[in-house]
Amino acid sequence: MAKVNTSPNIKGADDFYAELLALHEGRTKEESDAINARLILLLANHIGDRKILSDAMKKAAAAGA
Amino acid sequence: MNQQAKIFETPLYSYERHPDQDEVTPVRRPVVIIGAGPIGLGAAIDLVMQDVPVVILDDNDKVSFGSRAICFAKRPLEILDRLGCGDPMVEKGVTWNLGKVFFDDREIYNFNLLPEDGHKRPAFINLQQYYFEEYLVDRVRALEAEGKPIEIRGKNKVAAIGQHDDHVTLEIDTPEGPYNLEADWLIACDGAGSPTRRMMGLDFIGRVFEDNFLIADTIMEADFPTERWFWFDPPFNKGQSALLHKQPDNVWRIDFQIGWDIDRDEELKEENIKRRLRQMLGEDAKFELEWTSIYTFQCRRMEKFRHGRVLFAGDSAHQVSPFGARGANSGLQDTDNLCWKLKLVLDGKAPDSLLDSYDDERVYGADENILNSSRSTDFITPKSEISRIFRDAVLDLAERHDFARPLVNSGRLSVPCVYDESALNGPDAVGLPIQTRPGAPAVDAPTKDGWLLDRLGFGFQLLAIGVDVPELLEVDGIEITRLALAPDESSQFRARYLGEAKQAVYLIRPDQHVAARWTDYDAAAVFAALNTSTARA
């Protein structure tokens, strides 16, 4: 069963995180929500594998609960 | 335009006194059908073409008022071809393949429904339901003229139904008073509000969608192309959706989503509808209204479509949203599935448990339609803030990126149902094309003697492709006739039935669905598959 990779996988984690925040800087909540939704859809399509996507959704829902 | 008005204002099957009304003992008929709509008429034609006498009862005497169902898909057209009435529908209907999707004021994407060639029928035609019913009534009249035992009794309203082990009793009201009739089998095609279902106290369970849609069938000279245009959140109907679709005689189906909290009477006032249309079409647009209506919809079905000797078909059994054209289209697939089974049971050639497979296969079909229809509705009408955010994200991305287009859902248009899990399915052969697997409807293709689907139907057939098989087989009273074909009938035929294989044998059901298939002929295997597909195994 394919699982989403939960080991560190992004080189330059701080840079990535800063870029993610910069993406939202100066935006309204509405604009940010729209960007986030588009980003999720783009990344989901890139991954493609339905099992990995399901696993990622499960982990995303569980992490904050 | 007056000519159209006449079609749905003129009685096509006026009340006439029938000798059955004067019998002291109720007359027993093999099959009685309630409802002379598209599904009831389709069932009657199918049965009488197999020499089963049929009586259709309808509480009215005219075809459908207003356009109503307008979009007929390829599979139902193929079924109508088998019933001998596909041609007038397709000749009158507007053929279309192209759809366009708009978001706000931009066209974001378009699609072609049938890029594949080598099919007799197009993906869809648009045709007003009144024409559709009229042509079916014409077909009934032609069969009557040939001496076939088919009759439509207008202004015959069923007032009570009694169920017995081996028949059904009916109390029928007419303008000249009531009479009783009996039927070995009753088919209820009396629509979403089915009085039959109500009289029998049966549930109709599902989900209600809190939304209203205004239909304005509009007559105008306009140069919109013959395409389906769908708007999400257009400037002329902010926050809602709209649909534009062409019908014959310059009638355009325009459908506005108008929300849940509305004043129906106010919305239906002619001046208010015209105001909406001018916002969409421009202040100078010239048009007349043919038919207007406000609808809400539900996605629901009966738990079982067979209740002893009573069989439900079409909207009486299941109801979906209009997005995807799955109402009348799935109803015709119901009767396509039912009629050959009923014929075998009436002839004593198959046990009546064969009719349980009608229930299994068409409940499966209804669930597929309800699932698709509910998903379309959830996309068109987002139910929460976050679902609207994702919906709009999909639409924004679709404009620039192909990947998002399959996520856009303005109605997943009706495609034929494949009975993958059916107990009637026999063996499959490894390596043959997936689209013609057991349970699937035979896919059309050109052959040297015409379209394949024009050569299939009504009986069991053995499609022998490059394999020697007997011309006629008989298995305990059921015949299987041979249709011998060469592997190279056409490139499409080869791709759809052989793929990489050199030869194949397909057992085809009377409704043109594939029952089983092999890469060589084995008599015992064919006999076993026939018995499986007639519930005799």
Three-state SS string over A22-64 comes to HHHCCCCHHHHHHHHHHHHHHHHHHHCCHHHHHHHHHHHHHHC
Write out pLDDT tens, residues B478-526: 999 999 999 999 999 999 999 999 999 999 999 999 999 999 999 999 9
Backbone angles phi, psi at B403, to 5 degrees: -60, -30
Which of B392, B403, B407 is the closest to A34 by Cβ?
B392
Nearest CA in chain A to B403: A45
Min CA distance, B385 vs chain A (Å)? 10
Helix axes B2-9, B129-145, angle to 10 degrees: 60
Q: How many other C-beta atoms can be found within 10 angstroms of the C-beta atom of residue B416? A: 21
Q: For residue A29, give the chain B residue with the closest CA.
A: B389
- Between CA B244 and CA B240 the distance in angstroms is 14
User: Is the CB of A33 less than 8 angstroms away from the CB of B403?
Assistant: no
Q: Are strands B228-232 and B98-103 parallel, antiparallel or unpaired?
A: parallel
The answer to whether A57 contacts chain B (CB < 8 Å) is: no
DSSP, residue by residue, B348-397: TSS-TTHHHHHHHHHHHHHHHHHHHHHHHHHHHS-SSHHHHHHHHHHHHH
Contact A41 B392 (CB under 8 A): no
Query: How many C-beta neighbours within 10 Å does residue B339 have?
Result: 29
Q: Do A38 and B407 touch (CB under 8 A)?
A: no
Q: Chains A, B: CB contacts under 8 A, how many?
A: 25
Architecture of domain B434-533: 3-Layer(aba) Sandwich (3.40)
Each residue's pLDDT tens digit, A18-55: 999 999 999 999 999 999 999 999 999 999 999 999 99
* Residues B299-312 as b or e (16 or more Cβ within 10 Å = b): bbbbeebbbbbbbb
pTM reported for the whole predicted model: 0.93
Q: What is the mean pLDDT of residues B128-155?
A: 95
Instruction: Indicate the residue of B389, B401, B403 with minimum beta-carbon distance to A37.
Output: B389
Q: What average pLDDT does the structure give for chain B? A: 93
Question: Could you tell me the maximum CA-CA distance found in chain B, to the nearest angstrom?
Answer: 74
A42 neighbourhood in chain B, CB within 8 Å: 397, 401, 403
Q: B2-70+77-83+126-204+299-368 belongs to which CATH class?
A: alpha beta
The verdict on A28 touching B (C-beta cutoff 8 Å) is no
B393 to A45: CB separation less than 8 angstroms, yes or no: no
pLDDT digits (tens, 9 = 90+) for B246-258: 999 999 999 999 9
Distance from CA of B389 to the nearest CA of A (A): 6
Q: Does A34 touch chain B (CB under 8 A)?
A: yes
CB contact under 8 A, A45 and B404: yes
A33 contacts B394? CB cut-off 8 A:
no
Residues of A with CB below 8 A from B404's CB? 41, 45
pLDDT band at B262 (very low <50, low <70, confident <90, very high): very high
CB contact (8 A) between residue A37 and residue B392:
yes
Question: Residues near B511 by Cβ (< 8 Å), separated by ≥ 6?
Answer: B336, B337, B339, B340, B441, B457
pLDDT in tens, B195-238: 999 999 999 999 888 889 999 999 998 778 888 899 999 999 99
Residue B379 has pLDDT above 70, yes or no: yes
Give residue limits of the domains in chain A: 28-65
One-letter amino acid at B20 equals: D
Closest CA to B174 of B60, B65, B35: B60
pLDDT at B412: 82
Domain boundaries along the sequence of chain B: 2-70+77-83+126-204+299-368, 434-533
Residues in chain A: 65
Q: What is the dihedral of CA B186, B187, B193, B196, to 10 degrees?
A: 10
* A37: amino acid identity, one letter: A
pLDDT band at B5 (very low <50, low <70, confident <90, very high): low
Tell me the shortest Cα–Cα distance from A33 to chain B, in angstroms. Answer: 7
pLDDT in tens, B401-459: 999 999 999 888 778 899 999 999 999 999 999 999 999 999 999 999 999 999 999 99
pLDDT classification of B6: cutoffs 50, 70, 90? low
Closest to B503 in 3D by CA, of B488, B516, B513: B488
pLDDT over 80 at B115, yes or no? no
Q: What percent of chain B has pLDDT over 70?
A: 98
A45 touches chain B (CB under 8 A): yes
Please name the residue that has the structure tokens 């077909």: B139
Q: Amino acid letter at B332? A: L
**Contact: B393, A41; criterion CB under 8 Å:** yes
A51 to chain B nearest CA, in Å?
A: 18
Ranges of beta strands (E only) in B146-240 are 150-153, 157-163, 168-173, 179-188, 205-219, 228-232
> Does residue B2 carry a pLDDT above 70?
no
- The amino acid sitting at A45 is N
pLDDT in tens, B263-299: 999 999 999 999 999 999 888 889 999 889 998 888 9
Q: Report the C-alpha gap between B307 and B158 in whole angstroms.
A: 17
Question: What is the pLDDT averaged over residues B382-392?
Answer: 95
Q: How far apart are CA B128 and CA B346, in angstroms?
A: 35
Burial A25-63 (b: 16+ CB within 10 A, else e): eeeeeeeebbebbbeebeebbeeeeeebbebbeeeeeee
| B404: nearest CB among A33, A34, A41 | A41
